[in-house]
Structure 1
Amino acid sequence: MFWESVFIALDGLKTNKLRTALTMLGIIIGVGAVIAMVSVGLGVQQKVQNSIAGLGSNLLIVMPGANSPSGGVRLAAGSNITLTKQDAQAIAREIAGVNYVAPSVSQQFQIIYGNQNWKSTIQGTTQDFLQIRNFTVDTGSFFSTSDENTRARVAVLGQTVATNLFGGASPVGKTVRIGTAPFRVIGVLAGKGQSSMGQDQDDIVLVPLTTAQDRLLGQAYLNNISIQVENDKIMDKVQADITALLRARHRLAANVENDFSVRNLTALMTTMQETTGTITLFLGAVAAISLVVGGIGIMNIMLVSVTERTREIGIRKALGATYRNILLQFIIEAIAIGVTGGLIGITLGIAGARLISLVAGWNTVISGAAILAAFGVSVFIGLFFGIYPARKAALLDPIEALRYE
């Protein structure tokens, strides 16, 4: 009897193809929208995570300038002259749990080669910068300790700078001018692409820290210190130890605010994950509203179907159909609408996510969990909103049903 009820239900849906298709439309749109919106949200979340991870794992960044000095105007981190190379050396020497320390200075300069020029960020740093920021050298080599000690005029170009100045030719061994100073190109970094904020991570030129301080900028202070910690479990302890060390080195009294700030990028990543996760849930919830609307449409059409088929129900009951038979027939019809609409919605949702990625250039991530959840909800909605019409049909009195005009 079960399969007979299934075939009768499917025949009933085929009899009114247009009405069935319109009823499915709400489910199709709802499932497709949920999958597409969740894919966009997960894509944003992945891009943010990759961008922060691209800055380096287990990373602490020390910036000069207090975050909120008491009784004064808030200073922008990096705007004050409080960090020195000796501070970075002290952190590497005295703080346990630190793998690498890379002091840095940076400023934008015009870079010239022949009749080509390009404005980029020149960053003076040390060899540890590669390990901390997950950069690798594509061609050539990185500058050595000897280059740092002798303040050598050597440079390692990012992919964007190399492409704009040299096109497809190899820049290694060529001489460029940074400002007015000549620098010999000794290497080119492997590409890293854009960050989550849209910044080109390959638009950079690296030179030895001492060269940048003495020959380009003429400054003894640092713009930041990047620190890679051994593992994420001791991030908070290392951060506290660095704060205590720098306060002691800068001779700050107990009631005086820090003249530096220590930023924990692992904590930042956790915060960003929570934020993007909330956005993804919000997008999915908004899209899921159309699923409820689709369920109401199913109930409406099923009630119309019961009214139209009252005499049919009466005849079936007169021929021996039980309450269970009638109930099962109409529940199967409702579930069939939910299942079919859900499957079509999955296809459209995946296609929509791909289309958004191609047209808008956004990163999208198709989630298997989101697909299963959306499909499960569509089937549940078909069942939930089909129970009342099915029960109404099953409770019809056969005599009254046969009299119905």
Structure 2
Amino acid sequence: MNYSNLFKIALRAIFSNKMRSFLTALGIIIGVASVITMLAIGQGSKRSIQANISEMGSNMIMISPGADMRGGVRQDPSAMQTLRIADYEAISTECSYVKAVSPTVNSSGQWIYGNNNTQSTIYGVNRDYLEIRQLSVDDGEMFTDADIKASAKVCVLGQTVVGYLFPDGADPVGKVVRFGSIPFRVVGVLKKKGYNSMGMDQDNLVLAPYTTVMKRILAQTYLSGINCSAITEGVTEKATAEITTLLRRNHKLKEATDQTEADADDFNIRSQEELSSMMNSTTNMLTILLGCVAGISLVVGGIGIMNIMYVSVTERTREIGLRMSVGARGIDILNQFLIEAILLSVTGGVIGVLLGVGASYAVKAFAHWPIYIELWSIIMSFAVCTFTGVFFGWYPAKKAAQLDPIEAIRYE
């Protein structure tokens, strides 16, 4: 018996029991749609987090003071004074894998303009800070190197601060605002960035020359931190190692010898690459979990196919006996029921793919969750449902092929 006849027989058997065939395929439809939708949500979340990290500066390196032990008590890192201007200058001139570096000092307080006020943080930085943090000036200009050298009382406002201090929509550039009792002339306004993946408002800040903040606000000579940007994301580890070696040398920290242990670093270095790797591993695990949970419905759908095929073999036992008595071989009966199972699973797979894609976009439209449909998720889901049809349809088909023709004809 050729395959075209087997295909026609299988189609006839499916259409003769339309409702049963639909309910059988429904398990596959739901399984495939669930897998595609869950993977789309997982991949969308991953890409959204990666985009937010990139907006913060994917190749950014953050150096902060390290905690120290004094009299057996571990000190607060923020109170340590291990980072100096000399460290920033050394990184800027000596590190070959670093393309931008900025010292950072900060202080939180009240900003006032006329009758309006708001709480925000002033960050003392240099011009490289814009490149490191992926910021840009939307109106006016960034303060100059001459402003830094002169410790000028100038600042660049974030959009959130502008909204609170100038609710009437007035142009803040050229206006004088106060941080506590200290006046600052506004020279620019930053372009809006919105909230990051951690829910932090990236526009609620004010930038000023680091020399101004150190001398006129904090009255300190040490730095709160140093922000750097590696040449590319791929050399972040090399840049980190280079900075570590330089700072250990500048801070005169002893290396390990045969008799003594190495001095512990009095600074901490963190990179966005570490955060990105951590978030990627978390979202990958979440995506796998979602896919596995959705994949269970595919297995359930496969069991449904096996169950229905068993029923079909039992119902058509006499038909199988008649076919065998007129010359049909066991392999023909096996192929007939296998084709039937594969048709059910493939049809369910096609409908499931369409439903899964539609459900993914519905989630995006109504729940406003980020989604991203990978081509491999569609191919994998379709391949799995086809394999499911073959795997769960094979045993009932094999049972049908092994029936004794005489016993099958006598079956009631």
Regarding TM over 0.5, the answer is: yes
Q: Does 1:259 align with 2:266?
A: yes
**C-alpha separation in 2, matches of 1:71 and 1:38:** 53
Distance in structure 2 (CA, Å) of the matches to 1:81 and 1:135: 28
Give the Å deviation of 1:35.
1.5
Once the two structures are TM-superposed, the CA of residue 83 in structure 1 deviates from its matched residue by 1.2
CA distance in 2, matches of 1:204, 1:237: 31
Question: What do the CA deviations read for 1:375-395 (whole angstroms, capped 9, x no partner)?
Answer: 110111011111111122222
SS at match of 1:55: helix
For 1:194 and 1:349, locate their aligned partners in 2 and report how far apart those are by CA, in whole Å.
Answer: 30
Shift in CA distance, 161/336, structure 1 to aligned 2, threshold 3 Å: farther
Equivalent of 1:334, from 338, 341, 360? Answer: 341
Cα shift at 1:210? 1.4
Decide whether aligned partners of structure 1 residues 316 and 115 sit closer, same or farther in structure 2, where only a CA change above 3 A counts.
farther
Counterpart residue number, 2:395? 388
User: What amino acid is the match of 2:305?
Assistant: I
Matched residues in 2 for 1:57 and 1:227: separation? Answer: 11
How far residue 305 of structure 1 moved from its aligned partner, in angstroms, is 0.9
Q: Indicate yes or no: 2:93 matched with 1:86.
A: no
- Residue 317 of structure 1: CA displacement? 3.0
Label 1:261 to 1:307 Cα distance change in 2 as closer, same or farther (>3 A): same
Q: Distance in 2 between matches of 1:34 and 1:347?
A: 12
TM score, norm. by length of structure 1: 0.91
1:292 alignment counterpart: 299
Structure 2 equivalent of residue 26 of structure 1: 27
Aligned residues between the structures: 404
Identify the range of structure 1 (273-282 vs 117-126) with the bigger mean alpha-carbon deviation: 273-282
8 Å contact from structure 1 (residues 140, 186) kept in 2: yes
Instruction: Give the Å deviation of 1:217.
Output: 2.8
**Inter-partner Cα distance in structure 1 for 2:364 and 2:197:** 15
Match of 2:259 in 1: none
Residue 370 (structure 1) aligned with residue 380 (structure 2): no
Shift of 1:63: 0.4
Deviations 1:140-185 (A, max 9, x none): 2111111212222222222333334435543323333322333222
Where do 1:262-341 residues align within 5 Å? 262-341=269-348
**Counterpart Cα distance in 1 of 2:109 and 2:79:** 19
| Conservation of the 8 A alpha-carbon contact between 2:59 and 2:273 | yes
CA distance in 2, matches of 1:379, 1:197: 41
**CA distance in structure 1 between the aligned counterparts of 2:84 and 2:317, rounded to whole angstroms:** 88
The equivalences for 1:344-363 within 5 A come to 344-363=351-370
Change (3 A) 1:343 1:164: farther
SS of residue matched to 2:57: coil
Q: SS state of the match for residue 60, structure 1?
A: strand
Shift, 1:62, TM fit? 0.8
Instruction: Give the Cα–Cα distance (whole angstroms) in 2 for the partners of residues 51 and 74 of structure 1.
Output: 34
CA distance in 1, matches of 2:143, 2:188: 8
In angstroms, what is the RMSD of aligned CA positions? 2.4
Point out where structure 1 has 5 or more consecutive residues left out of the alignment: none
SS at match of 1:197: coil
Distance 2:242 2:235 in 1: 11
Amino acid at match of 1:162: V
Cα distance, 1:75–1:12 mapped onto 2, change above 3 Å: farther
Higher mean C-alpha displacement, 186-195 vs 376-385 = 186-195
Say yes or no: does 1:404 pair with 2:405.
no
The alpha-carbon deviation at position 206 of structure 1 amounts to 1.1
Instruction: State the 1:72 CA deviation.
Output: 4.8
Partners of 2:74 and 2:23 in 1: CA distance: 59
Moved over 6 A (4+): none
* Residue 7 to residue 229, structure 1, CA distance change in 2 (3 Å): same
Q: Give distance in 2, aligned partners of 1:366 and 1:116.
A: 47
Q: Name the amino acid aligned to 1:132.
A: I
Find the aligned partners of 1:375 and 1:112 in 2 and give their Cα distance: 61
What code does the residue aligned with 2:159 have? Q
Determine the structure 1 residue equivalent to 2:101: 101
Aligned match of 2:258:
none
Contact map agreement 2:97 2:238 (CA 8 A) in 1: no
Distance 1:253 1:7, change over 3 A: same
Residue of structure 1 equivalent to 2:243: 242
Query: CA separation of 1:92/1:47 partners in 2, compared to 1, >3 Å: closer, same or farther?
Result: same
CA distance in 2, matches of 1:75, 1:350: 54
Asked if structure 1 preserves the Cα contact closer than 8 Å seen for 2:63 and 2:270, the reply is yes
**Preserved contact between residue 111 and residue 178 of structure 2 (Cα < 8 Å):** yes
Residues 375 and 75 (structure 1), Cα distance of their counterparts in 2 relative to 1, 3 Å cut = farther
Instruction: Quote the sequence identity (%).
Output: 49
Matches within 5 A, 1:146-165: 146-165=146-165
Deviation at 1:369, TM superposition (A): 0.8
Given the superposition, is the C-alpha separation of residues 294 and 73 from structure 1 closer, same or farther in structure 2, using an over 3 Å criterion? farther
Distance 1:48 1:74 in 2: 34
One-letter amino acid of the structure 2 residue matched with residue 40 of structure 1 = I
1:115, distance to aligned residue in structure 2 (A): 3.6
Q: 1:335 to 1:69 in 2, by over 3 A?
A: farther
Q: 1:40 to 1:73 in 2, by over 3 A?
A: farther
Cα pair 1:70 1:257 within 8 Å, conserved: no
Deviations 1:343-362 (A, max 9, x none): 22222322333333344443
